[in-house]
Structure 1
Amino acid sequence: MSATFSDQEVAELQLPPLSLYIHVPWCIRKCPYCDFNSHALKNELPEKQYVQALLKDLTNELQFVQGRELHTIFIGGGTPSLMSAQAYDSLFEGLQKLLTFSHDIEITMEANPGTFEQERFNGFRATGINRLSIGVQTFDDACLERLGRIHSGSEAQQAVSMARRAGFDNLNLDLMHGLPGQSEVMAMQDLDQAIQLAPEHLSWYQLTIEPNTMFWTKPPKLPEDESLWSIQEKGQQKLASHGFTQYEISAYSQEGRRARHNLNYWQFGDFIGIGAGAHGKLTDLATDTIKRNWKTRTPSDYLSSEKSFQTGERLLDKDDLPVEFMMNALRLREGVDSKLFSQRTGLSLNTIQPSLEKARSMELLIKDTSRLQPSERGSLFLNELLELFC
């Protein structure tokens, strides 16, 4: 968008739906597999100061709202459930003075299953949070210990019960497989326990070893590839048989319960990111530009009045946009309507026509030209598919 286009390349850039991501960077203890921006809490959590900083951070981004309602909020971390309901009350009061919430706004909070957080569920629901994503990871206590988690399997089950009693009727359970010391039988037992708890949504994905984590420095022994493949196949069959539709690489939902916030990411929507380490993606019709920006990572810098919240931004030019769009949209099993590419990027579909034709000839995309949708093969070889748009 910062480059000059020919008439064949240009389309009308449209404003996509708007979401808000809020990052809470503290946790009780850093997990050895975690590469998110999280910091072990050593002193009392500075709730009041952090809420004030979040609202000030948002004020700096209001030019990008451009008259839109806010459709979803996602509070991630770290461990957002460490903050009190009173803090969120204050935060939401401030947010609603700055933004217009849609009448059916989805507000998701990530929560750990520990007893300390469970006691707060009633308060969280009363603030207007209407979706919980509970970080179960596994119900097996030995596996939890190897992952460095501080809750037990029974606490995870109790957390779901307490969330239901608090009035949450939209729950996601975060579950991993391919764990150190986990057999195929154990992985299926985890899924069985999750399904018995009847969540509306499951995020089920394989543990990967990421740079800048303790597991990267000291890698644990993971199951063999053959076992991992078998777990994936059997797990997908099991989930489907219980009414969970896989609509994204690691997202499975009951009918009508897809994660609206994450769908906005995957459909190349806009989101404002506030909080230490938060990222945003923003469309500006006044300049016909799309940019990504990111905030300072350390809580102390974020809370410092002498430092800027934002530490970087990058304009997406016409060479960036095709792969930026596709690496999100093609995660969706159903893909997206072809028209969305032009609406969300401001580029004509002709820009990527040679890549589309090659992807279809390689049977990585479905033949229907009205949709940008990966084939079964394309979903399995997503990296190979995305390389065609680089």
Structure 2
Amino acid sequence: MSLIAPPLSLYIHMPWCVKKCPYCDFNSHGLRSAPPPYADYIDHLLADLDADRADFGAALQDRPVISIFFGGGTPSLFSPELIARLLDGVRQRLPLRADAEITLETNPGTIEHGRFDGYLAAGVNRISFGVQSFDDDKLRRLGRIHFAAEAEAAVKSAQDAGYTNINLDLMYALPQQTLDGALADVERAVALAPTHISHYQLTLEPNTAFAANPPPLPDDDHAWAMQEACEARLADAGYGQYEISAYAQPGRRCTHNLNYWQFGDYLGIGAGAHAKLSDATDGQVRRRWKTRGPSAYMESNGGASRIGGDDVVGSAELPFEYMLNALRLIDGVPLADFALRTGLPLENIAAPLAEARRRGWLRDDPGRLHTTALGQRFLNDVIAGFLG
């Protein structure tokens, strides 16, 4: 089976935030006394993109970009004028699909009045708010810089500016959170009528302040009860669950994240950004990541030192890499997509597939990879079965 080049997205990493949250393990850097070199960073992003285009020329040819995602850090620290300059530069270098989804992650505590008009004019057509909770005490415990009222005001400001595609990030199983508290957060999110809600459990990640000094978190049984109750409330409000932690109104699923989960391709520019590209000419799937430190990344000026690592994903690793993404989708993916997106025959996963079905983790569907409710609860175990 030949590998077929899948849809292509672009991820852009903006590494600065006002301050580092104690649970965050992303490549983000709190502000210091001197402001970051925002304008210079835009130039380096475009130089990075130019270099990637030169490196991946054959694999990128005639492939339109279906989505762009500004992640961080806090991309909303960058002015609309700088975002516009960057997007203009991207359009000059890559073909964008006419209906490309362009998302900007936003911290409610960093938005000034009028900025949403500017982001919309720049071409950003989807806003993602890092709300996390509508409980001021929980926000304080999480180290967030905004209050619940500010989050609500920011969402309404984006809606007033003309945004019709808005995501809210919410966390549950927060320090000393109760089931009622988790449901109250969902109620306040639903009242704002966003088109999409990402609802995920707080976990203690290595090398974070919370990992070094763990707060009192609900146990697994209480966390599971919160997840089930919140899922039911979101469903009642018209938000269909399509991925383990993603809920959307009809027709409002996130194109960018769906491309990740369906093992699509993506370029990654910016400090610490990751990329995954399929080359149909040589049948290889390659991963590349950029130097993490913003200063070192910018010093590279688009040169080879901007690359932190670059590997071909081996045939023994590909099944695990594929399942790590695809099995997160509630409706699963066509079984035939495995061969199209990895270039491997289905025989390579016949044994772990049969074992997962025997355990009741996957539905007995010959045409689709589709977890059962039990499989969703024990998803890490399901995916581990595909390790080489």
Using structure 2 for the length normalisation, give the TM-score.
0.96
1:14 corresponds in structure 2 to: 4
**CA separation of 1:92 and 1:355: change in aligned 2, threshold 3 A:** same
Contact 1:82–1:117 (Cα < 8 Å) also in 2? no
- CA RMSD, aligned part only? 1.1
Alignment of 1:154-233 (within 5 A): 154-233=149-228
Deviations 1:281-333 (A, max 9, x none): 01122322111110001110011047621110121111011010011000001
The structure 1 residue matched to 2:328, chosen from 322, 326, 331, is: 331
Alignment of 1:183-332 (within 5 A): 183-305=178-300, 308-332=305-329
Report deviation, 1:40: 0.8
Report deviation, 1:118: 5.0
Alignment of 1:45-194 (within 5 A): 45-62=36-53, 63=57, 64-114=59-109, 116-117=111-112, 119-194=114-189
Code of the aligned partner of 1:325: Y
2:364 corresponds in structure 1 to: 367
Q: Which moved more, 1:174-183 or 1:114-123?
A: 114-123
Code of the aligned partner of 2:19: R
Counterpart Cα distance in 2 of 1:244 and 1:65: 35
Code of the aligned partner of 1:67: D
Q: Which moved more, 1:121-130 or 1:44-53?
A: 44-53
Deviations 1:341-368 (A, max 9, x none): 0110001112111221111111111111
Contact 1:115–1:155 (Cα < 8 Å) also in 2? no
Q: Secondary structure at the match of 1:203?
A: strand
Report deviation, 1:387: 1.9
Counterpart Cα distance in 2 of 1:386 and 1:144: 33
Code of the aligned partner of 1:17: P
Q: Secondary structure at the match of 2:20?
A: coil
The structure 2 residue matched to 1:31, chosen from 21, 40, 43, is: 21
Contact 1:248–1:331 (Cα < 8 Å) also in 2? yes
2:341 corresponds in structure 1 to: 344
Q: Secondary structure at the match of 1:133?
A: strand
Aligned positions, number:
380
Report deviation, 1:60: 1.5
Counterpart Cα distance in 1 of 2:293 and 2:308: 11
Q: Runs in 1 of length 4+ with deviation above 3 angstroms?
A: 115-119
Contact 2:155–2:192 (Cα < 8 Å) also in 1? yes
